[in-house]
Chains A and B, each alone.
Chain A
Amino acid sequence: MSSREPAKRAVGTNPMWRWILYAVMSVLSVFFIFPLLYMVTSSLIPDDQVLAKSQSLEAFLPTPFIGLENFIDAIDRADFLRVFGNSLLISGLIVILGLVVNSLFGYALARLRFPGRRFLIGLVIALIIIPFEALAVPLLFMGAEVGWLDTYQIQVLPFIASPLFIFLFYTFFLGIPRSLEEAAMIDGAGPVKVFTNVAMPLAKPAYATVAILGFLFSWGQFLWPSIVTRGVEVRPLPVGIGVFATTPPISWGDIMAYTVLMTLPLLAIFLVFQRQFVQGVASSGVKG
């Protein structure tokens, strides 16, 4: 977000308008926040109490409080540590390898001269339009053919190279001034060195954006892992929630504890790196 002051509008001048604005924003805040509060309080009370008092405002009081019992249950029943580790491994690999692969590609398109460059730019833009969902069925077939069902690699490899992120890097590298890179070249640096020592440090904001967006997308993935994994061994968090649905009676306390545990890491990262987060999302749009 730019540091520029937002323009002064009618609201800024008239105190009555200002109070109306606060009132509207507060009501909306309730809409955005109450499900999260409800999730937390429900995770701290016995299963039968979750539904019993779910129709009154009492639902927001963690009584009768049973401490972390639901959390211990949820961690145990869902093999949480395993599933959490899987998510971390899968998203981590997608993000880190993706940063390398996509930025190299984007840099080559923006700065290096080689035959076929313009064709590749066109190809990348065309590939952005293909939604992953249209590829899921044949990818499933390919994965089954090579015996990759229930593995990590089938959840990681297809998502490393991303036409959208290549394009983001490409436009970012085009936008930074050439002079520093040219100076390094005059000093005798080859293209690889120019990239690692000059261009990469300048492109930090682009790396941050792609890392945040990539993590956000991959952490929440549901469709693909629900197709290609069956056991808990390699399953990520969003699919792991399924274990609670299969064994009645539904223990809502455990489920809410699991959703708290699933939500907390991303929420914590968001609150700490809020600026970068918001900037990352904002810059996914400005290039449009």
Chain B
Amino acid sequence: MTTVAPTDAVDEPRESPKGMSETRVAWMFVLPGGSMLLLFIVLPFALAIWFSLTNQRLISPLQTRFVGLDNYMSELADPVFWKSLWNNFRFAAFVVPFQTVFALALAVMVNQRVRGRTVFRTIFFTPITVVMAAAATIWVLLFNVNGLVNGFFEAITFGNFAPDWLNDPTWAMWAIIVVSVWQGVGFQMVILLAALQDVPSELYEAASIDGADAWRQFRSITVPGIRNALIFVFTVTTILAMRLFDQPTLMPRSPGGPLDSTRTTMVHMVDVGFGRQAIGRGSAIAILFFVIVLALTIIQRRFVREEAG
């Protein structure tokens, strides 16, 4: 997110003709949203830090006590936590690059001057309007062992490939990846398409006069021209990959299954903090999660800034 420089740097309030000072009006404007941000973001975030240092439970007759870094220690020593984190990375390692490139390919295609391109744009974008809970349900049926996906694979491999997708630890995550890309890629496509249309067409004209072929133009004009949008898409997709929750909760027979092969950090956090009502330990997972997301964002930014310099 780039910070926009305010057009006036003066914070001296003006006197309004009606007598009410600008400061008072400003606070009236800021108060409703500000108090909600405090109550529903700042306070719970502070509470998460505090709870993560205690043995707080949702309902418990025992008194809450301060336990220092115990929650973090036991979480970091828990193989299930690492497994969940690994699953997020496994998911992200495929989805982030693939979905970004796929979205770019779609955007470039619907940006060509051919008849019917808006129809294709609509089709590629439509899954965005399908609520994830609905999308996951449809694909559960498609990924059924006797479902349409296997019908397709059996036809092209003559019956040699027909896994029980959602009940097989090797394949369950792949089913989730397919749903996620199907539902999400249209969003990125639209963002990249908007950026593509802002690349000045004179650049392409000049390049083709200089004899640059299509691939050369794509590399030297298109990609640098939409660099910021590409970075945005990459970063947002990474964060969304870390937040993966709906699909692994809804699609396998039990959330995060089979054998924890789709258990993500969020599934793990909800299981501990809500399922087992261990608020303290769940908060520790939340804080660890926040630190990881923050670190990823900072790493990506640094990497990107060096590129730019």
Contact = CB atoms under 8 A, between A and B. Distances in A.
A114 B47 CA distance: 30
A1 interface: yes
A283 B198 CA distance: 12
Nearest to B27: A114
The majority secondary structure among interface residues of chain A is helix
B232 A285 contact: yes
A105 B144 contact: no
Contacts of B246: 222-223, 238
A25 B141 contact: no
B270 A227 contact: yes
A86 to B, nearest CB: 14
A123 B279 CA distance: 27
A23 B292 CA distance: 42
A288 interface: yes
A120 interface: yes
Interface of B: 1-4, 6-8, 10-14, 16-18, 20, 22-23, 25-27, 29-30, 32-34, 36-37, 40-45, 47-48, 51, 56, 58-59, 106, 109-114, 116, 120-135, 137-139, 141-142, 144, 146-148, 150-151, 154, 182, 186-187, 190-199, 201, 204-205, 213-214, 217, 228-229, 231-233, 235-236, 239, 242-243, 245-246, 249-250, 266, 269-270, 273-274, 279, 282-283, 286-287, 289-290, 293-294, 297
Interface of A: 1-2, 4-12, 18, 21-22, 24-25, 28-29, 31-36, 38-39, 42, 50-51, 54-56, 59, 100-102, 104-105, 107-110, 112-115, 117-118, 120-121, 123-125, 127-131, 133-142, 144, 157-161, 163, 166-167, 170-171, 174, 178, 185, 188, 190-192, 195, 216, 219-220, 222-223, 226-227, 237-239, 241, 252, 255-256, 259, 262-263, 266-267, 269-271, 274, 277-278, 281-288
13 contacts: A2-B198, A7-B199, A25-B109, A101-B32, A108-B29, A113-B22, A137-B51, A191-B16, A222-B246, A263-B130, A266-B130, A285-B190, A285-B233
